[in-house]
């Protein structure tokens, strides 16, 4: 029997769990939110009716918000523990491969990647994170802060007006609605393409669900990180076997289901913006 290729573990189980929470909460929030944003769209109207009407949809939307705050809190605790255990440092955020902080080298990689797209240069050698992954990561923090804060104002208007003027409720409504629309549009188009629909990973990148990628693919896509592991003698510590074919089929079915739902939502959004 042919020996299976070894894989590199890129994520931990906790990362997969948090990502599943992100996917679940975001789809809940996007789907229920769009039923309010575009009530004249028959598709979203049917979704609202199927869920039990606007009142029930509102409760489901708030459940998605609670789930969002939970995973955000868990991740902040994780970051705190990494700093406490000295696995991350403030200086490291501006120099090490593990950092998700955008750095000048990311701008260079963006330029080089654009040149590569038009055939004017070689493919950039990426490290632990690409510039688009860093953008996605920072966008989540921005979204939770802006959409979450405005959502809390709308959820608890009486409490909010203890410290805010009455007109802040109207401002929060606009911010919450438009920022949520922007977030949904970005995730279901740009993020989906960069992560799943680009030629290198089509029809989907399973790494966040399986926590691993084939060693050959890792060498090709993350050459700088691979070289760092080899130089530090840490490569063997990250080698793991491939998942069984049955598990891989389950993962792909699960992931493609979420991907399809997201694409259906963005089609509904585009239809509403153009025709309604």
212: helix, strand or coil: strand
**Distance of alpha carbon 57 from alpha carbon 34, whole angstroms:** 10
pLDDT at position 195 over 50: yes
pLDDT at position 177 over 80: yes
Q: What is the pLDDT of residues 205-238, one digit of tens each?
A: 999 999 999 999 999 999 999 999 999 999 999 9
Query: What average pLDDT does the segment 255-273 reach?
Result: 95
**Distance of alpha carbon 151 from alpha carbon 192, whole angstroms:** 25
High-pLDDT (> 70) share of the chain, %: 99
- Better-scored residue on pLDDT, 200 or 65: 65
* 71 domain-assigned: yes
Buried-exposed string 155-188: b where 16+ CB fall within 10 A, e elsewhere: eeeeebeeeeeeebeeebeebbbebbbebbbbbb
pLDDT at position 167 over 60: yes
Q: How far is CA 76 from CA 24, 73, 89, 108, 146, in A?
A: 19, 5, 15, 29, 17
Query: How many Cα atoms occupy the beta-carbon half-sphere of 261 within 13 Å?
Result: 15
**Distance of alpha carbon 1 from alpha carbon 216, whole angstroms:** 20
> Left if phi > 0, otherwise alpha if psi is -120 to 50, otherwise beta: which for 92?
alpha
Structure tokens at 254: 């699960």
pLDDT at position 58 over 90: yes
The DSSP call for residue 214 is: E
* 140 domain-assigned: yes
Consecutive H or E run containing 240: strand 239-240
Work out how many domains the chain is built from and give that number.
1
Q: Are 238 and 110 in contact (CB under 8 A)?
A: no
For residue 198, the model assigns a pLDDT of 86
**Distance of alpha carbon 234 from alpha carbon 232, whole angstroms:** 5
First-to-last alpha carbon distance for the chain, in angstroms, is 58
* 184 domain-assigned: yes
- Better-scored residue on pLDDT, 200 or 226: 226
Most trustworthy range by pLDDT among 1-5, 69-73, 193-197: 69-73
Which residues lie closer than 8 Å to 124 by C-beta, 6 or more apart? 109, 112, 113, 116
Average pLDDT, the chain: 94
Q: What is the pLDDT of residues 81-91, one digit of tens each?
A: 999 999 999 99
* 121 domain-assigned: yes
Q: Are 196 and 262 in contact (CB under 8 A)?
A: no
Which residues lie closer than 8 Å to 236 by C-beta, 6 or more apart? none
* 103 domain-assigned: yes
Domain containing 247 equals 7-275
For residue 3, the model assigns a pLDDT of 62
Q: What is the CATH number of the domain that holds 168?
A: 1.20.950.20
**Distance of alpha carbon 11 from alpha carbon 89, whole angstroms:** 20
Give 276's pLDDT tier (boundaries 50, 70, 90).
confident
For residue 1, the model assigns a pLDDT of 42
Q: Give 87-90 contacts, CB < 8 A, sequence gap 24+.
A: none
Count of beta carbons in the 10 Å neighbourhood of residue 227? 14
* 2 domain-assigned: no
* 139 domain-assigned: yes
Query: What average pLDDT does the segment 7-32 reach?
Result: 96
């Amino acid at each position: 029997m042919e020996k299976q290729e070894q894989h590199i573990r890129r994520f931990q189980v906790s990362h997969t769990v948090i990502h599943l929470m992100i996917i679940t909460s975001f789809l809940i929030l996007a789907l229920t939110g769009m039923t309010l944003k575009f009530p004249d769209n028959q598709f979203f109207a049917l979704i609202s009716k199927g869920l039990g009407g606007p009142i029930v949809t509102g409760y489901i939307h708030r459940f998605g918000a609670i789930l969002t705050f939970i995973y955000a809190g868990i991740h902040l605790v994780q970051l705190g523990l990494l700093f406490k255990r000295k696995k991350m440092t403030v200086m490291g955020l501006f120099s090490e491969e593990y950092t998700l902080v955008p750095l000048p080298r990311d701008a260079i990689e963006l330029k080089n990647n654009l040149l590569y797209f038009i055939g004017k240069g070689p493919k950039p050698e990426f490290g632990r994170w690409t510039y688009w992954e860093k953008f996605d990561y920072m966008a989540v923090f921005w979204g939770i802060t802006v959409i979450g804060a405005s959502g809390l104002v709308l959820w608890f208007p009486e409490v909010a007006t203890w410290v805010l003027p009455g007109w802040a409720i109207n401002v929060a409504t606009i911010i919450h609605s438009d920022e949520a629309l922007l977030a949904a549009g970005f995730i279901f188009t740009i993020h989906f393409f960069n992560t799943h629909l680009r030629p290198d990973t089509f029809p989907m990148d399973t790494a966040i669900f399986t926590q691993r990628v084939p060693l050959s693919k890792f060498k090709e896509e993350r050459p700088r990180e691979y070289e760092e592991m080899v130089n530090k003698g840490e490569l063997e510590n990250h080698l793991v076997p491939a998942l069984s074919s049955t598990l891989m089929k389950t993962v792909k079915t699960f992931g493609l289901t979420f991907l399809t739902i997201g694409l259906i939502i963005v089609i509904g959004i585009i239809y509403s913006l153009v025709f309604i």
